[in-house]
Amino acid sequence: MIGLSVATLLFTHTDFLDHVEPPGHPEQVARIAAVTQALSGFDLIRRDAPLAEESEVLRCHPPEYLARIKAALPTRGWSQVDGDTYLSPGSLKAALRAVGGAGAAVDAVLAGAARNAFVAARPPGHHAETARAMGFCLFGAVAIAARRALDHHGLSRVAVLDFDVHHGNGTQDLLWDEGRVIFVSSHQMPLYPGTGLASETGAQGQIVNLPLRPGSGGGAMRAAWTPALAQVRAFAPELILISAGFDAHADDPLAQLEWEVEDFVWLTEAICDLADHSCGGRVVSVLEGGYDLPALAASAAAHVDVLLRRGE
């Protein structure tokens, strides 16, 4: 593309620090600080994640669900909307910026501002179902971004690839009937939220679940993703979105897949190879999980380093 930037875009915002969980909660403010600090020396084009219009949320979630989240927002302290999902006074603005950042990254990459982008946002989104907050998640930012690419930008085929250690049940729910999106999720099983069997294939056979055994490590991941990426390649996506969770790392306290940083590098390289073949390298990656701060920082930095090198 003429005039294409050689740098990777980074979308983030200080409002992500204002989504404050109760003390001891794993989805803590320090997560975003660890990621942004790890990326501080990278040659990235830095942009503020904008606030999404409510109409963007409504691409995937019904108005009554958005109204419930708004009504539950506390003026101080916390309110609880799920067994492990809390709201603080700044949570709605942070969640809207997560949606806005993912959408703005799609807009920028499709406009040719860069070949790829990373969105360092919280709260995460891939567990948020159509009308249910769960698993630390309020709005399905990546699913919403996929719908924006299809309905606002007029794409015909989008891939959503999720390597968070937990199944992306929310993304699956939001895209269950969407034949224009292929959704692939690798995840530990058994583990929260208990969904993600290989037999869950979507209304049009466009969902691919890759359950992995605890302790199976990077070798099992590579064996599962290699044919899955071939299936995505056959789908010929015009854009690839990543739900980038780094909680499959061996040091993460919430799971036991035992991946190392080099496994995230391998998978990111493989996704970029696919993007180079199918869609001119166009990739938008959005932060999901990762709860050991040093592992999160190292893995996210390695992931973005691949994006930066492949964006040149």
**DSSP assigned state of 13:** -
Backbone angles phi, psi at 85, to 5 degrees: -120, 120
Rounded CA-CA distance 68/64 in Å is: 6
Phi-psi region of 260 (alpha: psi -120 to 50; beta: other; left: phi over 0): beta
Alpha carbons 112 and 105: distance in angstroms, whole number: 11
User: In whole angstroms, what is the distance from residue 284 CA to residue 106 CA?
Assistant: 6
Short-list 52, 229, 233, CA closest to 157: 233
Strand partners, 243: 162, 286
Query: What's the full length of the chain, in residues?
Result: 312
Closest residue by Cα to residue 107 from 288, 237, 282, 307: 282
Sheet strands (E) in the chain? 9-12, 45-48, 79-82, 85-87, 116-119, 158-162, 181-188, 207-212, 240-244, 283-287
Instruction: Report the C-alpha gap between 255 and 298 in whole angstroms.
Output: 17
Radius of gyration over every alpha carbon of the chain, rounded to an integer in angstroms: 17
240 forms beta bridges with 159, 283
45: phi then psi, degrees, rounded to nearest 5: -85, 110
Note if 187 is an active site residue. Answer: no
d(CA 156, CA 236): 10
Q: Which of 127, 167, 249, 303 is catalytic?
A: 127
Residues noted as catalytic:
127
